[in-house]
Amino acid sequence: MILFDLFTTFILLGAFSFGGGLGSMELIRNRVVSVRGWMTDAEFTDIISISEMTPGPLGINIASFVGARTAGIPGTIIATLSYVLPAVAIVMIMARIYFHYRNLRIMQGVLKGLRPAIAAMVLAAAITLSSTAWWNGIQNASISNTDWIAVLITLIMLVILGKKKTGPITTILGSGIIGASIYAILGIPI
């Protein structure tokens, strides 16, 4: 039953995950955490961190990790393949359409019209991830409940990303090292 649930969940996610991994992260999180309850927001955030450090597209890596978490190796195979299958079919169809009609004004309008939706999906994912890191979920958001160390690390990483253009592995590892050091020095339980 879990393999069928993984298949139906990830084939739908694969069919509707537009904008790449970051753009589809909130959609995946909603299905995996809120609808299916396969993991918590904190676990999902951890999966995103690990997925960013491993080779391959973010959405596929997340599907693989969720599949492994819920049903082992068969779950990984089912979740990954079912997530990729719609994309392969859609890309083949869209490539034919795009290369045939790419110069039409309507096609340019459609592509330009999709950009705000993709930006909104990335922003929604950023809000969810930030609220998990800073307050352990948006429902717990308050000044008194804020993890100021996490906020500080976020700001440091934003500055570093803006100035140094570091990659995801360096950024995530650096953030982990900074966090481990600060929490250990201050003796704050995690």
10 is written with which tokens? 């990830």
Q: Over 90: is that where the pLDDT of 80 sits?
A: yes
Does residue 79 share a domain with residue 107?
A: yes
Q: Which one of 96, 120, 138 terminates a domain?
A: 138
pTM over 0.85: no
- Distances 181 to 28, 46, 60, 166, 175 between C-alpha atoms, Å: 31, 18, 31, 20, 10
Query: 188 phi and psi, to 5 degrees?
Result: -90, 125
Structural domain range at position 80: 2-138
Number of separate helices (H) and strands (E) present in the chain: 7, 0
Lowest mean per-residue pLDDT among 53-57, 93-97, 155-159, 174-178: 53-57
What is the number of structural domains in the chain?
2
Does residue 160 share a domain with residue 92?
A: no
Work out the burial of residue 115: count CB atoms within 10 Å of its CB; fewer than 13 is exposed, 13-18 middle, 19 or more buried: exposed
- Report pLDDT digits (tens) over 95-141: 998 888 888 888 889 889 988 988 888 888 889 889 989 998 888 99
CB 2 within 8 A of CB 70: yes
- Report pLDDT digits (tens) over 43-62: 998 998 888 888 888 889 99
Does residue 98 share a domain with residue 72?
A: yes
Does residue 190 share a domain with residue 97?
A: no
